[in-house]
């Protein structure tokens, strides 16, 4: 669980529509990538053993590593960059991060969507503070050119060079496909609702939007999707939008142009929209992040696209007067 000081730090960043990115490289002197620091527990140098769990050369999971009595799966991020689900049997060994024989592995210990994993990188760089308005969207909805993208957005480094932000949620889905299989089984058990209002979704990860679409379609609920918070706000506050038709908003916290907090702040501050239930759908799961969601005046919290939790929110906020 995060400390109260960490919750306060995250909250303050969101209140200022800011984020912090850990910048890193996958090859020496090559491109810079970034991940939100609040998805990273720590960055370690690792020289321990790796327990093999498969000899399949196409596997994204390198094996299991153990640190301080915690055993977690390890993924080589550069391998994932070359992974294509349309070529599931492709040998990925040639794309592994290369370093000298006696060098230690650099591993990000990440925690999101209730999972802890190790992610091998070449080197960690600096932490970059940015406004969400300084983050440029690179992926749209489900277009042919973005379906296999590993990146969701980009920004600029201190010297003006490009920093590309990785779609960590997509990596998790592709490395552990059984997670989605479990969700698909849950979707079959979803109650179908008869509701005449729309649910609005905002998330910058195409893979998350795809999962959420499937959940709401299985629940028989009308919905509209937006790739970031600003697009959602533009729609809601458009003079042509019928506010009475909006039943609920489900939003990520981390999005370009306008964060989830900005969405909550604007909706709750406006008398015309303050009644609309806002549910945070975040991969930063755990009780500390539920506290964060409540501190943002959100009405509820979902641990990243869990079908039964979505169903409960529909029942709670859209069926209460039926």
* CATH code (residue 60): 2.40.50.180
Domain shared by 160 and 14, yes or no? yes
What are 19-71's pLDDT values in tens digits? 899 999 999 999 999 998 888 889 999 988 899 888 889 999 999 999 888 89
Domain shared by 106 and 89, yes or no? yes
Contact criterion met (CB below 8 Å) for 249 and 276: yes
Domain shared by 151 and 61, yes or no? yes
Domain shared by 149 and 15, yes or no? yes
Domain shared by 123 and 243, yes or no? no
Of the three residues 175, 191, 212, the one that is the final residue of a domain is 175
Domain shared by 310 and 185, yes or no? yes
First to last CA, the chain: 38
What are 77-130's pLDDT values in tens digits? 999 999 998 898 999 999 999 887 778 999 999 887 678 899 999 999 999 999
What are 190-220's pLDDT values in tens digits? 889 989 999 999 998 888 888 899 999 999 9
Contact criterion met (CB below 8 Å) for 204 and 146: no
Of the three residues 175, 208, 230, the one that is the final residue of a domain is 175
Domain shared by 152 and 226, yes or no? no
Domain shared by 237 and 107, yes or no? no
Structural domain that includes position 136? 4-175
User: Which tokens sit at 110?
Assistant: 């990440």
Of the three residues 175, 199, 214, the one that is the final residue of a domain is 175
DSSP-assigned states of every residue in 112-164: ETTEEEEEEESEEEEEEEEEGGGPEE---SS-TTTTT-SEEEEEE-TTS-EEE
Q: What is the pLDDT of residue 145?
A: 36
Domain shared by 140 and 38, yes or no? yes
Number of domains in the chain: 2
Place of tokens 């490009």: 162
Contact criterion met (CB below 8 Å) for 91 and 83: no
What are 226-235's pLDDT values in tens digits? 999 999 999 9
**CATH number for the domain including 313?**
3.40.50.2300
Domain shared by 89 and 152, yes or no? yes
Provide the mean pLDDT of the chain.
86
Domain shared by 140 and 66, yes or no? yes
Domain shared by 78 and 212, yes or no? no
């Amino acid at each position: 669980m995060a400390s109260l000081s960490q919750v306060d730090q995250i909250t303050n960043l969101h209140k200022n529509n800011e984020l912090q990115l850990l910048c890193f490289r996958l090859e020496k002197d090559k491109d810079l990538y970034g991940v939100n620091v609040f998805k990273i527990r720590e960055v370690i140098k690792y020289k321990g053993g790796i327990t093999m769990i498969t000899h399949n050369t196409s596997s994204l999971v390198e094996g299991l590593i153990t640190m301080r009595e915690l055993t977690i799966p390890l993924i080589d991020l550069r391998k994932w960059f070359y992974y294509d689900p349309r070529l599931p049997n492709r040998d990925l060994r040639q794309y592994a991060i290369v370093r000298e024989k006696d060098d230690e592995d650099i591993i990000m210990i990440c925690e999101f969507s209730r999972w802890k994993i190790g992610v091998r990188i070449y080197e960690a760089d600096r932490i970059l503070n940015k406004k969400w308005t300084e983050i440029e969207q690179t992926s749209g909805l489900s277009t042919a050119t973005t379906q296999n993208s590993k990146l969701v957005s980009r920004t600029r480094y201190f010297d003006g060079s490009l920093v590309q932000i990785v779609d960590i949620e997509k990596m998790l889905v592709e490395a552990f496909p059984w997670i989605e299989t479990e969700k698909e089984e849950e979707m079959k058990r979803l109650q179908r609702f008869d509701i005449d209002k729309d649910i609005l979704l905002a998330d910058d990860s195409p893979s998350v939007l795809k999962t959420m679409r499937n959940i709401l379609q299985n629940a028989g609920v009308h919905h509209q999707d937006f790739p970031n918070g600003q697009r959602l706000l533009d729609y809601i506050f458009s003079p042509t939008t019928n506010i009475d038709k909006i039943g609920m908003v489900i939003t990520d916290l981390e999005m370009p142009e306008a964060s989830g907090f900005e969405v909550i702040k604007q909706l709750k501050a406006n008398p015309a929209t303050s009644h609309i239930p806002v549910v945070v759908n975040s991969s930063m799961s755990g009780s500390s992040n539920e506290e964060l969601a409540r501190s943002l005046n959100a009405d509820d919290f979902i641990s990243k696209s869990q079908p039964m939790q979505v169903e409960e929110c529909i029942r709670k906020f859209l069926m209460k007067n039926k």
